[in-house]
Amino acid sequence: FQDQAEQFFRSGHTNNWAVLVCTSRFWFNYRHVANTLSVYRSVKRLGIPDSHIVLMLADDMACNPRNPKPATVFSHKNMELNVYGDDVEVDYRSYEVTVENFLRVLTGRIPPSTPRSKRLLSDDRSNILIYMTGHGGNGFLKFQDSEEITNVELADAFEQMWQKRRYNELLFIIDTCQGASMYERFYSPNIMALASSQVGEDSLSHQPDLGIGVHLMDRYTFYVLEFLEEIHPASQTNMNDLFQVCPKSLCVSTPGHRTDLFQRDPQNVLITDFFGSVRKVEITAETLSLDRHVPGLESKFPEEEMATEPLKYAEQLPVAQIIHQKPKQKDWHPPGGFILGLWALIIMVFFKTYGIKHMKHVF
Amino acid sequence: MAAPLVLVVLAAVTVRAALYRSSLAVFIAERVEVASPLNAWKRVVEGLALLDLGVSPYSGAIFHETPLIIYLFHFLIEYAELVFMITDVLTAVALYLAIQDFNKVVFKKQKLLIELDKYAPDVAELIQTPMEMHYIPLKVAVFYLLNPYTVMSCVAKSTCAINNSVIAFFILATIKGSAFLSAVFLALATYQSLYPLTLFAPALLYLLQRQFIPIKLKSKSFWLYTMQYASLYLCSLVVIICLSFFLLNSWDFIPSVYGFILSVPDLTPNIGLFWYFFAEMFEHFSLFFVCVFQVNVFFYTIPLAIKLKEHPVFFMFVQLAIISIFKSYPTVGDVALYMAFLPVWSHLYRFLRNIFILSCVLIFCSFLFPVLWHLWIYAGSANSNFYYAITLTFNIGQILLISDYFYAFLRREYYLTHGLHLTRQDGTEAMLVLK
């Protein structure tokens, strides 16, 4: 009974997905790409395969002409950690990172030609981690310097996901200015949200690297990354520890979180429930034998094919009848008064012009 | 002269019938240069179909024809092609008869002025002779019937042909001198499309001239005749509009027809100048500019009336051209109508300055219209500016053509009274310049 109760408090998910989005382009937004790649790295290290990660990067920093260290994206100023390794798979790149594509990925309403790597093929037993970073404001997040996604849109997208049973539980992390405004509007169950700053506060970046010339990471994600580096697939660290990451003294902004929509107690939610892909393994003591002939199954196919009846179609339009129909009678006729008036006028004009004397030739 | 006319008519009818049977008919009917929202055949059919379904055809923004057209086509819709061919033939015959009469008038007037010694002694070469004027009516009929613009307009079954026909009959009635018929046809033409209102002035001037009433503002007989003509015109207009009310028992047609012509809500590209301007204008200013553009059509009447009061038929020609250029939804059918008159002024050829360039401009623009339309709409490699450029060029060509003819006409008149070899005060040769 204790086991069953414990089972209740464990997550009921069977697979993990991650949607990691960096919404800013341009070289000076290097840190946003580095943020996303750090989370990607952690998530992959903890077991989520590329097939279950949708990575959206709005710009290419590793191969940017301004990158003095090409093919690398560093997260710390001493170039300790290259988060852009050999096996980064970016699913949505550059201009493909749009609000529309992001919402389509979340809700699953994608054109049939989209490749699998670009789809979020989650089901109702999936735990999804959604990480977004970029520039934001009170109630919106800027995509690519040209459009925005609002907190209302995001909340509605999550509700669509809930109604379509596309997630079991969802962890939403956002590292932008005034990030807490983005999770204010959520109303679907089983969502837990973290943000790097409250409404009215800016999220600040960590130190700049003078060799590369830009800020390498944002503070919140930097400390989250540090925290995640300690996690391994068997860790029992729970969400409450994640909420403590980056206090105001280190982050300058006040990170926020929201758990009212989440059914389980954050105490019982493991980090690896969202950041890792921990398979549940049940050890059983029974054995099953698989024999060649399984009794009870009969051959389903008949010995010979029977002659099938010719296919009949439903009653169609009687085309032959239609094309030979006479055109139907017109329903509208000009009123008699009009015709009378018109012809009277015409006759009057005629006789006025040509004289009354012609009348006796007519009659 | 009847036989060559019949031959021309037969040739024209054959060309049109051949085109009706070919695949070009559909292509031409779709072209925006030929069919405008006011006179497209598609819309006539749509309006009549709506009527059969029991809905007023003016209820949407599709049908902008007058009720008399509804009545005409209600019975004749199966014979539409015949109707349009007959209309074209009637127009040509009306123009033929009108110009024949006009030539007689011109000749008589010329003879009178020669006898009165009003002409300078050395202008013998400028005087029109009956020999050269003999073939002008036939040429007018040919110019109208075999003009590619007219043929296209007919094949597209655009009701512009009916407009042209009514105006041609109006011109015939005016030149024959019947004020009553002329007023009736002018009322019909105005009822059909609003702009022939401006033809009131030349018709009045012509009729006054014919009645030998001098055009002085203080003359009582002038005002009396003007009032008579104006009242005939207005009465017929009112009668026709009231009659149209009884067709559908509603006044819906007035905003649909006249409101549409005046307020230009439909900005489909055509060969006119309105669409581009209003497509890119702010809402705030559109009323002002609509008024400006519409006044532009009516604006030239009074100055031209003052300048050309001795020559009302030329005035009518210039006015027709101005209507075709500046109206809100011009089509090539309107252009064809005034072009039919060009043979009447063929004696002005020696004074025309830019006729080669202008004819080239007009021909090239006519060919470029479908090309740039295709590039803009189908190929996507051009945009509306290209089409508008050609529209502008075409209209500039037309305007320059008219002003060239105007210049040549006035120059000839000047030479007739002052002699061909103009000399300045000191005896050297002088040049005549239009200021």
Predicted local distance difference test score (pLDDT) of residue B133? 84
| DSSP state for residue B435 in the 8-state scheme | -
With CB atoms and an 8 Å threshold, state whether A331 touches B178: no
What is chain A's alpha carbon radius of gyration, rounded to the nearest angstrom? 35
Q: B249: which chain A residues are within 8 Å (Cβ-Cβ)?
A: 335
Length of chain A: 363
3-state SS class at A147: strand
Other C-beta atoms closer than 10 Å to the C-beta of B121 total 8
Q: B53: which chain A residues are within 8 Å (Cβ-Cβ)?
A: 331
Confirm if A191 and A167 have CB atoms less than 8 A apart.
Answer: no
With CB atoms and an 8 Å threshold, state whether A349 touches B74: no
Predicted local distance difference test score (pLDDT) of residue B250? 87
State which fold the A11-275 domain adopts: Rossmann fold (3.40.50)
Amino acid at position A204, single letter: L
Q: Is pLDDT above 50 for A303?
A: no
Task: Kindly list the domain boundaries of chain A, sorted by start residue.
Answer: 11-275
Could you tell me whether strands A191-195 and A169-175 are parallel, antiparallel, or unpaired per DSSP bridges? Answer: parallel
3-state SS class at A175: strand
Tokens of B147: 């003009």
pLDDT digits (tens, 9 = 90+) for A147-205: 999 999 999 999 999 999 999 999 999 999 888 899 999 999 999 999 999 988 888 88
Amino acid at position B182, single letter: S
Among residues A13, A22, A52, A177, the one annotated as catalytic is A177
Cα separation of B202 and A85, whole Å?
87
Predicted local distance difference test score (pLDDT) of residue A124? 87
With CB atoms and an 8 Å threshold, state whether B71 touches A337: no
Widest distance between CA atoms in chain B: 80
> Which of A224, A214, A132 has its CA nearest to residue A178?
A132
Q: Which residue has the tokens 């009378």?
A: A340
Could you tell me whether strands A191-195 and A256-258 are parallel, antiparallel, or unpaired per DSSP bridges? Answer: antiparallel
What's the gap in Å between the CA of B219 and the closest CA on chain A? Answer: 28
> Which of A89, A99, A107, A1 has its CA nearest to residue A37?
A89
With CB atoms and an 8 Å threshold, state whether A332 touches B249: no
| DSSP state for residue A313 in the 8-state scheme | P
With CB atoms and an 8 Å threshold, state whether A345 touches B181: no
Q: Is pLDDT above 60 for A362?
A: no
SS (H, E, C) B140-165: HHHHHHCCHHHHHHHHCCCCHHHHHH
Confirm if B231 and B186 have CB atoms less than 8 A apart.
Answer: no
Determine the angle formed by the axes of helices B80-115 and B136-145, rounding to 10 degrees. Answer: 150
Of A129-143, A326-340, B206-220, the range with the highest mean pLDDT is A129-143
pLDDT digits (tens, 9 = 90+) for A13-60: 888 999 999 999 889 899 999 999 999 988 998 989 999 999 999 998
What's the gap in Å between the CA of A344 and the closest CA on chain B? Answer: 11
Predicted local distance difference test score (pLDDT) of residue B396? 95
Q: Is pLDDT above 70 for A358?
A: no
Other C-beta atoms closer than 10 Å to the C-beta of A316 total 6
Predicted local distance difference test score (pLDDT) of residue B3? 87
Other C-beta atoms closer than 10 Å to the C-beta of B302 total 11
Active-site residue flag, A177: yes
Active-site residue flag, A246: no
**Chain B contact probe: residue of A330, A331, A333, A346 with most B CBs at under 10 A:** A330
| DSSP state for residue A312 in the 8-state scheme | -
The DSSP annotation for A29-68 comes to: GHHHHHHHHHHHHHHHHTT--GGGEEEEESS-STT-TT-S
Alpha helices in B214-282 (DSSP H): 220-248, 253, 260-263, 274-279
Other C-beta atoms closer than 10 Å to the C-beta of A277 total 22
3-state SS class at B227: helix
Residue B304 sits at φ, ψ, to 5 deg, of: -65, -35
User: Across chain A, where does the E strand assignment appear?
Assistant: 15-22, 53-57, 92-93, 126-133, 135-137, 140-143, 147-150, 169-175, 191-195, 256-258
Residues of chain B with pLDDT below 50 are none
Q: Does B79 touch chain A (CB under 8 A)?
A: no
pLDDT digits (tens, 9 = 90+) for A263-288: 888 888 889 889 888 776 777 888 88
- Residue A179, classified by CB atoms within 10 Å of its CB into exposed (0-12), middle (13-18) or buried (19+), is buried
3-state SS class at A133: strand
The answer to whether the predicted template modeling score (pTM) of the entire model surpasses 0.80 is no
Q: What percent of chain A has pLDDT over 70?
A: 83
Q: Is pLDDT above 90 for A295?
A: no
Q: Name A16's Cβ contacts closer than 8 Å, sequence gap at least 6.
A: A47, A48, A52, A126, A127, A128, A129, A273, A274, A276, A277, A278
Other C-beta atoms closer than 10 Å to the C-beta of B263 total 15
With CB atoms and an 8 Å threshold, state whether A330 touches B71: no
With CB atoms and an 8 Å threshold, state whether A353 touches B54: no
Amino acid at position B256, single letter: S
Q: B243: which chain A residues are within 8 Å (Cβ-Cβ)?
A: 338, 341-342, 345
Predicted local distance difference test score (pLDDT) of residue A163? 92
Residue A167 sits at φ, ψ, to 5 deg, of: -150, 155
Predicted local distance difference test score (pLDDT) of residue A174? 93
Instruction: Determine the number of helices (DSSP H) and then strands (DSSP E) in chain A.
Output: 12, 10
Amino acid at position B258, single letter: Y
Q: Does A332 touch chain B (CB under 8 A)?
A: yes
Determine the angle formed by the axes of helices B332-339 and B312-326, rounding to 10 degrees. Answer: 160
Cα separation of A157 and B110, whole Å?
88
